[in-house]
Amino acid sequence: MTVLKALLKRKTVAIALLYILIVVAAAIFAPWLAPYDPAKQFFEGLTLEGAPLPPNADYWLGTDLLGRDLLSRVIYGAQTSLIIGVVSNGIAVVIGTLVGVTAGFVRGWLGSVLMRLTDLMMAFPALLLAIALAAILQPSLWIVAMVIAMVNWVQIARVIYSETISISSKDFVAVERTIGVSAPRILFSHLLPHLLPTILVWATLGISTTVLLEATLSFLGVGVQPPKPSWGNIIFESQTYFTSAVWLVLFPGIAIIALSLSFNLVGDALRDELDPTLKGRS
């Protein structure tokens, strides 16, 4: 609780937290918040020439190429993007951390096997792997989330692995051993807190990359299936009209950037709050 209070004291962090809350609320309460059905194509949503409408009094954020309300699509899109950005990215971070820490702390044959596996995964083009996996398994939101997690844990594992090795070679870990502290306790009580900053940075950076990876997959037809909206696929569907209908890319783009920035700010602030060495020296 004291940590939360300290976080709220920083103005930018408070705003970031507020934005995250709004996105979460939008995702949960989409049916009530959205002015229209996100899949409904309005006749009056297009001009007589068939061009989408810019933002106006009826459609606050304008309409898309098929005459659907952009605001409703962005609100519903929050569901998909949150699941991809938070859940699948979270799974990637957990797997990556577990693999990296185990390989770095235990070393030996287990460490070698885990790291060779990571190298193997890295050698595959991530996109190709995702397409292959998504094509084999019936594409649905949850499958896409799992596929993205499977592709994204690799870099995290690599980074955490080298961090773990550098921290466990420090003197204080040797001291813990001489005191008789057990290996799991050293791992959880002494190593993990030092890994936290790295994990937080990767977790927050991962949000924007995973949201965009989902968009790429949607674009290629193996992601979230239309007409279900996601921030990524809204951008991809309309990117060719960027010059004539800028709002179609601008609003979902801002939504993604703001989400990723917010998580980043909160992550940074959390790292500082949890680090006792940054508090007053005497």
Contacts to another protein by CB under 8 A: 170-172, 174-182, 185, 190, 193-194, 275-277, 279-282
What is the secondary structure of 177-195 as a DSSP string?
HHHT--HHHIIIIIIHHHH
Strand partners, 46: 52
Nearer to another protein, 50 or 180 (CB): 180
CB of 178 to another protein, least distance (A): 5
> Residues with Cβ < 8 Å from 63, sequence gap 6 or more?
42, 45, 46, 52, 53, 69, 70
Nearer to another protein, 21 or 174 (CB): 174
CB of 175 to another protein, least distance (A): 5
CB of 190 to another protein, least distance (A): 5
> Could you tell me how far CA 11 lies from the centroid of its own chain?
23
Q: Are 57 and 118 in contact (CB under 8 A)?
A: no
CB of 3 to another protein, least distance (A): 14
Helix H or strand E segment including 76: helix 70-82
CA pair distance 145, 52, nearest whole angstrom: 31
Nearer to another protein, 5 or 279 (CB): 279
Alpha carbon of 20 to those of 25, 78, 117, 222: distances in Å? 9, 11, 35, 28
CB of 104 to another protein, least distance (A): 17
CB of 170 to another protein, least distance (A): 6
Nearer to another protein, 163 or 237 (CB): 163
Nearer to another protein, 55 or 197 (CB): 197
Nearer to another protein, 49 or 171 (CB): 171
CB of 76 to another protein, least distance (A): 42
Task: Render the burial of 62-96: b for 16+ CB within 10 Å, e for the rest.
Answer: bbbbbbbbbbbbbbbbbbbbbbbbbbbbbbbbebb
Nearer to another protein, 178 or 243 (CB): 178
> Could you tell me how far CA 151 lies from the centroid of its own chain?
13
**Angle made by CA atoms 266, 159, 273, in degrees to the nearest 5:** 25
Nearer to another protein, 168 or 260 (CB): 168
Q: How many CA atoms lie within 13 A of 40 on its CB side?
A: 12
CB of 172 to another protein, least distance (A): 5
Q: Quick one: tokens of 209? A: 């990359």
